[in-house]
């Protein structure tokens, strides 16, 4: 007869595991000897090894007892069912791993791949992280509201980055983030932006539908509010745009003559 420690050693588990299986009702507790110690026989060793083998194979403990008492046909059916469940769990965990790998890149959090690629291009042209972070947060809001339009938006933004004058404007805007409202350079920035807007409308990318630029008013207002509250010269820039026939920032629109 074996002590609980000897039983555990024979089966290759810990004493704590044996007690856990007792508590779950998987391994019957033996009678105690006259000294009060549990004593186990060969059947207990066999049962414990079977329980350990099933548990290590991924069988939930809630189903181990069922398999221990099953005949050959029942055992095969139960194992097939458990295998299906395990394969589904593996697929789900693989999806989680893929998502975690995407999140490790940072910009992929709540953004489609094309938006993350656009932000990567902004880094390539040397824009500061402060500006890129603002772009990222803005596109997260847009993607949440208009996911179906994100490919079209990003196609337009990628086309803009192929133009040296657009890259120059992005850099100038990055430099202007901390300008005071009365900085004389703000007027030049407004002229630069109006020129880009008009040139963009005259040469839109093939397949681009201008309606895809139409953001809901509440979303545009929210994004404009972020710009106005975080960039000191923003109110002055928008006022200068209106003087030049344009209104808005996120949702630029030509004013009626």
**How would you write 176-229 as a 3-class SS string?**
HCCCCCCCCHHHHHHHHHHHHHHHHHHCCCCCCCHHHHCCCHHHHHHHHHHHHH
Question: What percent of the chain is modeled with pLDDT above 70?
Answer: 90
- In the chain the domains, ranked by start, together with CATH numbers, are 4-102 (1.10.1660.10), 106-254 (no CATH)
- Residues 255 and 248 sit within 8 Å (Cβ to Cβ): no
246 pLDDT above the threshold of 90: yes
| Nearest alpha carbon to residue 178 among 168, 170, 186 | 186
Query: Cα(179)–Cα(183) distance, rounded to whole angstroms?
Result: 6
pLDDT at 255: 87
Whole-model pTM?
0.54
What backbone phi and psi angles, to 5 degrees, belong to 247? -130, 155
Helix%, strand%, coil% for the chain, nearest 5? 70, 5, 30
Q: Coil, strand, or helix at residue 254? A: strand
Q: What is the pLDDT of residues 83-138, one digit of tens each?
A: 888 888 888 888 877 666 655 555 666 788 899 899 989 988 888 888 888 888 88
74/103: higher pLDDT: 74
pLDDT at 243: 94
The tokens for 124 are 């390539």
15 pLDDT above the threshold of 60: yes
Question: What percent of the chain is modeled with pLDDT above 90?
Answer: 28
pLDDT at 103: 55
pLDDT at 99: 63
Per the listing, tokens 């805007």 go with 173
**Average pLDDT of the segment spanning 191-216:** 71
pLDDT at 201: 74
Q: What is the pLDDT of residues 142-163, one digit of tens each?
A: 998 899 989 989 998 898 888 8
230 pLDDT above the threshold of 90: no
């Amino acid at each position: 007869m074996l002590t609980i420690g000897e039983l555990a050693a024979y089966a290759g588990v810990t004493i704590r595991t044996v007690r856990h299986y007792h508590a779950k009702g998987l391994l019957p507790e033996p009678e105690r000897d006259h000294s009060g110690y549990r004593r186990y026989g060969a059947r207990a060793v066999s049962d414990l090894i079977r329980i350990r083998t099933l548990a290590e194979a991924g069988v939930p403990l809630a189903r181990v007892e069922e398999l221990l008492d099953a005949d050959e046909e029942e055992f095969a059916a139960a194992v097939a069912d458990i295998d299906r469940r395990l394969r589904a769990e593996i697929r789900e965990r693989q999806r989680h791993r893929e998502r975690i790998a995407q999140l490790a890149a940072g910009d992929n959090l709540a953004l489609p791949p094309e938006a993350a690629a656009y932000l990567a291009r902004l880094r390539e042209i040397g824009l500061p992280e402060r500006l890129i972070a603002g772009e990222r947060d803005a596109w997260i809001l847009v993607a949440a509201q208009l996911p179906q339009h994100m490919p079209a938006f990003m196609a337009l933004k990628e086309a803009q980055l192929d133009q040296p004058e657009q890259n120059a404007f992005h850099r100038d805007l990055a430099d202007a983030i901390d300008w005071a409202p009365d900085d004389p350079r703000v007027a030049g920035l407004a002229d630069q932006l109006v020129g880009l807007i008009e040139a963009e409308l005259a040469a839109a990318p093939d397949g681009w539908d201008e309606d895809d630029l139409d953001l809901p008013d509440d979303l545009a207002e929210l994004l404009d509010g972020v710009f106005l509250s975080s960039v000191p010269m923003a109110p002055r820039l928008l006022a200068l745009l209106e003087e030049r026939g344009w209104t808005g920032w996120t949702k630029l629109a030509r004013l009626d003559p």
